[in-house]
C-alpha cells in the first residue's frame, strides 16, 4: 500500500452566541480535516486544531506532502521523524499540529486496513471510559440561574461529571459561580473548574483556596502553559488536583511538565502535540511517573486513546451547548450513557465526515 495524496479541508460555522473563557472569546466553531489517500482505495481521516490559521496549516500540509507520497502508510514512526525537524519544522506550533493531523490519518488507515477499531490496535485496555461534559462558558445574558440550568442539563443526557469556566470575572464572583453550580448538581457529581491560563500563580492560589470547600475534582490550567514552576507552586499549595497540558507539545514538553511536577493530571491533545504516535509515548512517560491522563477535546479521536491505555482517567465531551454542529459533523456519533462513553466498534477511528451537513460551511 502506498500514499497517493494528502488533502486538507477546513469548515467553520457560527455559534448562536459567542462564548468566552478566562481569556478568549469564540464566535465560531469548526473542524480542520486532513485526508490521506492510498492506492488501495483506503482513506485515513486526521484532524488538527486552530480555527484562525487554516490557510497556514493547509500550506504546511502541502509542504509536508512530498516526503510522504509513494510511502507505506503503516510506517508512521518513520514518517513522524521525517516530518518533525525541529530546527525548521515541528517542535511547537502549527507545524507540529499539521504533523499530528497527518499522523492521526495514518493510524486511521492502519485500523481500516486491519479491520479493527483504533483503540484495540493501540492496546485495547477498556471499552468504556468515564466522561465529563465541558461547558459553563461566559455568555451574554447568562447569569447564575442560567449557568446552573446548563450544568444540570448535562446530567439529563447521562453525564456524571461536568466542567465550568472561571477566570473571566473577579475571583469572588467566580467563587460564587462555583458554589451555585455545586449546589445545582449535588454532592455526588464530579465538578471540574477550568481557568484557561487566566491567572498569575498567586491569584490561582487564592482561587484554589476559596473553592476547596466545593469539592472540585480538578483546577485546570490556572497559569500560562510555560509557567511550569508557577503551576507547581499552586499544586503544592492546595488539596485540589491541578490539571494541565492541552497546550503542550511532544514528549519533550510533557517530560518537562512531569519533571517540574507542575500538574497532577495530564491533558495531552493528540491534535496539538503531534498526533497519536507521540500521544502514546506521552502516555508511557506518564505511566512511569504514576500520572493519569485525561485528554483535551476532540472526543471522537480521544475516546480511542483513553480507552487504549491503563492510565486513562476520564474523557472530555462537548455537546450542543458549545458546538451547534454536535452530532452532525460526522456520520457516526458517540454518546454518554450512565456517565460513560464507549469507542465505536468500527475499523480505525470509526469516523467519516458528514459532507451533506458540512459542505455549506466549507472555507478551504
Just list the catalytic residues: 165, 194, 220, 246, 269, 296
Residue 328: partners with Cβ closer than 8 Å, 6 or more residues away: 354, 357
- By CB atoms closer than 10 A (0-12, 13-18, 19+), residue 66 is exposed
Q: Cα separation of 45 and 350, whole Å?
A: 10
Sign of CA dihedral 83, 250, 220, 349: positive
Residue linked to cell 472555507: 363
Dist. CA 240–CA 255, nearest whole Å:
22
Check if the beta carbon of residue 197 is closer than 8 Å to that of residue 22.
Answer: yes
Measured CA to CA, the distance from residue 308 to residue 100 in angstroms comes to 18
Can you tell me whether residue 163 is helix, strand or coil?
strand
Distance separating alpha carbons of residues 135 and 317, to the nearest angstrom: 9
E strand segments, the chain: 3-20, 25-38, 43-48, 129-134, 161-165, 190-194, 218-220, 242-244, 265-266, 292-293, 315-317, 340-341
Length of the chain: 364
CA separation for the pair 324, 53 (Å, rounded): 21
Query: What is the C-alpha separation between 97 and 92, in angstroms, rounded?
Result: 8
CA distance 347 to 118: 7
Amino acid at each position: 500500500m502506498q500514499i497517493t495524496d494528502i488533502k486538507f479541508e477546513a469548515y467553520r460555522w457560527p455559534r448562536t452566541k459567542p462564548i468566552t473563557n478566562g481569556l478568549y472569546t469564540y464566535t465560531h466553531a469548526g473542524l480542520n480535516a486532513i485526508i490521506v489517500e492510498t492506492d488501495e482505495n483506503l482513506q485515513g481521516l486526521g484532524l488538527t486544531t486552530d480555527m484562525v490559521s487554516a490557510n497556514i496549516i493547509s500550506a504546511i500540509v502541502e509542504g509536508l506532502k512530498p516526503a510522504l507520497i509513494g510511502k507505506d502508510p503503516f510506517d508512521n514512526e518513520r514518517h513522524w521523524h521525517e516530518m518533525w525537524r525541529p530546527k525548521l519544522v515541528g517542535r511547537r506550533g502549527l507545524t507540529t499540529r499539521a504533523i499530528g493531523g497527518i499522523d492521526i490519518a495514518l493510524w486511521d488507515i492502519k485500523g481500516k486496513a486491519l479491520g479493527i477499531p483504533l483503540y484495540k490496535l493501540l492496546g485495547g485496555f477498556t471499552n468504556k471510559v468515564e466522561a465529563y461534559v465541558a461547558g459553563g462558558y461566559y455568555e451574554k445574558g447568562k447569569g447564575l440561574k442560567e449557568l446552573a440550568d446548563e450544568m444540570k442539563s448535562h446530567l439529563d443526557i447521562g453525564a456524571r461529571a461536568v466542567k465550568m469556566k472561571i477566570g473571566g470575572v473577579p475571583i469572588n464572583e467566580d467563587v460564587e459561580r462555583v458554589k451555585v453550580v455545586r449546589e445545582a448538581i449535588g454532592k455526588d457529581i464530579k465538578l471540574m473548574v477550568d481557568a484557561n491560563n487566566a491567572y498569575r500563580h498567586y491569584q490561582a492560589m487564592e482561587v484554589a483556596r476559596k473553592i476547596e470547600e466545593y469539592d472540585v475534582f480538578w483546577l485546570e490550567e490556572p497559569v500560562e502553559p510555560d509557567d511550569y514552576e508557577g503551576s507547581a507552586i499552586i499544586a503544592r499549595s492546595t488539596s485540589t488536583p491541578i490539571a494541565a497540558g492541552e497546550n503542550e507539545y511532544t514528549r519533550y514538553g510533557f517530560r518537562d511538565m512531569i519533571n517540574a511536577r507542575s500538574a497532577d493530571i495530564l491533558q495531552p491533545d493528540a491534535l496539538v502535540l503531534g498526533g497519536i504516535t507521540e500521544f502514546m509515548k506521552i502516555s508511557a512517560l506518564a505511566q512511569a511517573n504514576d500520572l493519569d491522563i485525561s485528554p483535551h477535546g476532540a472526543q471522537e479521536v480521544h475516546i480511542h486513546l483513553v480507552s487504549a491505555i491503563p492510565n486513562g482517567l476520564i474523557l472530555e465531551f462537548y455537546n450542543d451547548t458549545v458546538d451547534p454542529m454536535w452530532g452532525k459533523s460526522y456520520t457516526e456519533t458517540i454518546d454518554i450513557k450512565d456517565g460513560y462513553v464507549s469507542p465505536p466498534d468500527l475499523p480505525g477511528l470509526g469516523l467519516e465526515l458528514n459532507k451533506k451537513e458540512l459542505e455549506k460551511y466549507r472555507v478551504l
